[in-house]
């Protein structure tokens, strides 16, 4: 069984998907982490986004592996565990840019489909319900207002001891939304058969319970 969760940056996809995976005993597949790993490679190797040959070349030299250690997804870039490094803001912003490149998307597609073919997965990203897993049994489009998403991100950074600028976070989110929704290949949009969930006024437990119930009802069909 496959659950697809799509939505904009900061909607809470990974938090929700991890909890649903735990409750249902599914594998959680974070596709954003794969794009982030490629972005990290581009940053570390100064790959220009304007140079299609350099991008093709980089894609040939990148090996992404997904492993599960104690049930948690770990991403390896050319043999190195980059799961923590890829969480930096700068890497997320670059990921949104590299994700618009066809060579990059082609590279990750089969990896994502193969994992879903072999396991019960809950996979989150931007194009999972529309493109990667069009036959997923459950599809959710998870979103929240820009203000809510920026405030959540702000609170998260404050809790880590940082002093972020909320206006800058809001501007970054708006820019990422624009890039992810307006690119030519596999842009972020709600699949026709996806359920729209605006979590601005819902807490995490409510969203998790909703998706778990939906899945249990579906598997009992």
Shortest approach of ligand DC to residue 217 CB, angstroms?
Answer: 26
Interhelix angle 31-44/102-118, rounded to 10 degrees, is 140
Q: Where are the beta strands (DSSP E) in 63-217?
A: 64-69, 72-77, 80-81, 121-125, 138-143, 195-198
Residue-wise DSSP of 6-38: E--TTSSHHHHHHHHHHHHTPEEEEHHHHHHHH
Our CB check for ligand DC shows the closer of 40 and 92 to be 92
CB of 126 to ligand DC, least distance (A): 4
Smallest gap from Cβ 152 to ligand DC, in A, equals 13
Other C-beta atoms within 10 Å of 204: how many? 12
Closer to ligand DC by Cβ: residue 162 or 221: 162
* List of residues contacting ligand DC (CB under 6 A): 9, 31-32, 35-36, 92, 95-96, 99, 125-128, 176, 180
Least distance from ligand DC to the Cβ atom of residue 113, Å: 12
Q: What are phi and psi of 76, to 5 degrees?
A: -110, 125
Q: Which is nearer to ligand DC, 141 or 221 (CB)?
A: 141
Nearest CB to ligand DC, comparing residues 77 and 92: 92
- Which DSSP helix (H) or strand (E) runs through 167? helix 166-182
DSSP assigned state of 70: T
Q: Quote the least distance from Cβ 99 to ligand DC, whole Å.
A: 3
Nearer to ligand DC, 126 or 139 (CB): 126
For 130, residues 6+ apart whose C-beta sits below 8 A from its C-beta are: 6, 186, 189, 191
Rank residues 24 and 133 by Cβ distance to ligand DC and give the closer one.
133
Residue listed under structure tokens 């649903």: 20
Closest approach, Cβ 63 to ligand DC, in A, equals 19
């Amino acid at each position: 069984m496959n659950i697809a969760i799509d939505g904009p940056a900061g909607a809470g996809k990974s938090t929700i998907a991890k909890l649903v995976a735990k409750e249902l005993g599914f594998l959680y597949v974070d596709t954003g982490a794969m794009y982030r790993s490629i972005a990290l490679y581009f940053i570390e190797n100064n790959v220009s986004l304007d140079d299609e040959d350099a991008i093709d070349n980089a894609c040939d030299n990148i090996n992404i592996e997904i492993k599960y250690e104690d049930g948690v997804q770990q991403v390896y870039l050319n043999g190195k565990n980059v799961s923590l490094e890829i969480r930096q803001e700068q890497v997320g912003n670059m990921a949104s840019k590299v994700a618009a490149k066809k060579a990059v998307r082609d590279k990750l597609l089969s990896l994502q489909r193969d994992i879903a073919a072999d396991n019960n997965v809950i996979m989150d990203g931007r194009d999972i319900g529309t493109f990667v897993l069009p036959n997923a049994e459950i599809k959710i489009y998870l979103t929240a207002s820009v203000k809510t998403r920026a405030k959540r991100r702000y609170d998260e950074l404050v809790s880590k001891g940082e002093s972020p600028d909320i206006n800058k976070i809001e501007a970054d989110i708006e820019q990422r939304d624009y890039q992810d929704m307006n690119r030519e290949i596999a842009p972020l949009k709600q699949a026709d058969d996806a359920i729209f969930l605006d979590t601005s006024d819902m807490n995490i437990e409510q969203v998790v319970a909703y998706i778990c119930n939906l899945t249990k009802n579906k598997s009992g069909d």
